[in-house]
Amino acid sequence: LNDNPSHYKITLSGTVKSPKINFDPPFLMLMPVPLDVKTETVINIIPQNYLRQSQIQVELPELELEDGDKIYPFSVQFPEGQDIVLSSDGTNKELICHIGFRSSRPVSLLGNMFFIDKEEN
Protein backbone atom coordinates (compact mmCIF):
# COMPACT_ATOMS: atom_id res chain seq x y z
CA LEU A 1 0.00 0.00 0.00
CA ASN A 2 2.42 2.74 1.14
CA ASP A 3 1.61 5.22 -1.66
CA ASN A 4 1.43 2.40 -4.22
CA PRO A 5 -1.64 2.94 -6.43
CA SER A 6 -2.23 -0.82 -6.88
CA HIS A 7 -5.62 -2.15 -5.87
CA TYR A 8 -6.06 -5.22 -3.76
CA LYS A 9 -9.16 -7.33 -3.69
CA ILE A 10 -9.96 -9.53 -0.71
CA THR A 11 -12.79 -12.03 -0.83
CA LEU A 12 -14.25 -13.38 2.40
CA SER A 13 -16.80 -16.12 2.79
CA GLY A 14 -18.41 -17.75 5.77
CA THR A 15 -21.42 -19.50 7.17
CA VAL A 16 -23.66 -18.14 9.90
CA LYS A 17 -25.04 -20.78 12.23
CA SER A 18 -27.86 -19.77 14.52
CA PRO A 19 -27.90 -21.14 18.05
CA LYS A 20 -30.41 -23.92 18.58
CA ILE A 21 -31.47 -26.40 21.24
CA ASN A 22 -32.28 -30.07 20.73
CA PHE A 23 -33.89 -32.40 23.26
CA ASP A 24 -33.33 -36.05 24.07
CA PRO A 25 -35.98 -37.42 24.08
CA PRO A 26 -37.62 -35.02 21.59
CA PHE A 27 -41.03 -35.21 23.28
CA LEU A 28 -42.25 -36.11 26.73
CA MET A 29 -45.07 -38.35 27.91
CA LEU A 30 -45.60 -38.74 31.63
CA MET A 31 -47.49 -41.72 32.99
CA PRO A 32 -50.76 -41.27 34.90
CA VAL A 33 -50.31 -41.24 38.67
CA PRO A 34 -52.64 -41.03 41.69
CA LEU A 35 -53.65 -37.57 42.92
CA ASP A 36 -50.90 -35.65 44.75
CA VAL A 37 -48.22 -38.12 43.66
CA LYS A 38 -45.29 -36.69 41.75
CA THR A 39 -44.12 -38.26 38.51
CA GLU A 40 -40.79 -37.16 37.10
CA THR A 41 -38.55 -37.74 34.12
CA VAL A 42 -35.15 -36.53 32.97
CA ILE A 43 -34.36 -34.97 29.61
CA ASN A 44 -31.06 -33.85 28.11
CA ILE A 45 -30.95 -30.41 26.57
CA ILE A 46 -28.38 -30.26 23.78
CA PRO A 47 -27.35 -26.69 22.89
CA GLN A 48 -25.61 -26.15 19.55
CA ASN A 49 -23.79 -23.19 17.99
CA TYR A 50 -23.77 -20.99 21.11
CA LEU A 51 -20.58 -18.94 20.83
CA ARG A 52 -21.08 -17.09 24.11
CA GLN A 53 -22.57 -18.03 27.44
CA SER A 54 -26.33 -17.98 27.77
CA GLN A 55 -28.89 -19.27 30.22
CA ILE A 56 -32.04 -21.34 29.72
CA GLN A 57 -35.35 -20.19 31.20
CA VAL A 58 -38.53 -22.26 31.08
CA GLU A 59 -42.13 -21.15 30.58
CA LEU A 60 -44.43 -23.76 32.10
CA PRO A 61 -48.03 -24.25 30.96
CA GLU A 62 -50.80 -22.93 33.18
CA LEU A 63 -53.85 -25.14 33.45
CA GLU A 64 -57.32 -23.71 34.02
CA LEU A 65 -59.68 -26.14 35.74
CA GLU A 66 -63.43 -26.42 35.15
CA ASP A 67 -64.19 -24.29 38.24
CA GLY A 68 -61.91 -21.49 37.00
CA ASP A 69 -58.98 -22.26 39.32
CA LYS A 70 -55.55 -22.06 37.69
CA ILE A 71 -52.75 -24.43 38.57
CA TYR A 72 -49.16 -25.02 37.49
CA PRO A 73 -48.79 -28.79 37.79
CA PHE A 74 -45.33 -28.94 36.21
CA SER A 75 -41.99 -28.26 37.85
CA VAL A 76 -38.53 -28.01 36.32
CA GLN A 77 -35.12 -28.36 37.95
CA PHE A 78 -31.63 -28.13 36.51
CA PRO A 79 -29.42 -30.02 39.01
CA GLU A 80 -26.19 -28.84 37.34
CA GLY A 81 -27.38 -25.31 36.50
CA GLN A 82 -29.09 -23.58 33.56
CA ASP A 83 -26.02 -21.99 31.96
CA ILE A 84 -25.08 -22.81 28.38
CA VAL A 85 -21.29 -22.86 28.38
CA LEU A 86 -18.85 -23.07 25.48
CA SER A 87 -16.24 -25.74 26.25
CA SER A 88 -12.59 -25.55 25.22
CA ASP A 89 -13.20 -27.80 22.17
CA GLY A 90 -15.84 -25.37 20.80
CA THR A 91 -18.90 -27.44 21.68
CA ASN A 92 -21.64 -26.71 24.18
CA LYS A 93 -22.13 -28.86 27.26
CA GLU A 94 -25.44 -30.72 27.56
CA LEU A 95 -27.81 -29.69 30.34
CA ILE A 96 -29.77 -32.13 32.47
CA CYS A 97 -33.37 -31.16 33.18
CA HIS A 98 -35.75 -32.87 35.62
CA ILE A 99 -39.41 -32.33 34.70
CA GLY A 100 -42.02 -33.20 37.30
CA PHE A 101 -45.80 -33.26 37.43
CA ARG A 102 -48.09 -33.27 40.48
CA SER A 103 -51.75 -32.36 40.82
CA SER A 104 -54.23 -32.63 43.65
CA ARG A 105 -57.07 -32.47 41.11
CA PRO A 106 -57.75 -34.89 38.23
CA VAL A 107 -56.33 -33.43 35.01
CA SER A 108 -55.28 -34.53 31.57
CA LEU A 109 -53.52 -32.19 29.20
CA LEU A 110 -51.45 -31.83 26.10
CA GLY A 111 -49.30 -28.72 26.26
CA ASN A 112 -46.01 -27.05 25.47
CA MET A 113 -43.09 -26.04 27.64
CA PHE A 114 -40.97 -23.28 26.18
CA PHE A 115 -37.22 -23.31 26.77
CA ILE A 116 -35.86 -19.84 26.07
CA ASP A 117 -32.29 -18.49 26.04
CA LYS A 118 -31.13 -14.98 27.04
CA GLU A 119 -31.75 -13.72 23.49
CA GLU A 120 -35.37 -14.98 23.72
CA ASN A 121 -34.85 -17.69 21.10
Give pTM, 2 decimals: 0.79
CB 44 within 8 A of CB 93: no
**pLDDT at site 1:** 53
The closest alpha carbon to 59, from 13, 120, 108, 104, belongs to: 120
pLDDT range class, residue 31, cuts 50, 70, 90:
confident
pLDDT greater at residue 89 or residue 2: 89
Mean pLDDT of the 20-44 span: 91
Give DSSP secondary structure letters for 4-56.
----------------EEEEESSS--PPP--TT--EEEEEEEEEES--S-EE-
CATH number of 20-116: 2.60.40
pLDDT value at 56 more than 90: yes
Domain residue limits, the chain: 20-116
Mean pLDDT of the 18-47 span: 91
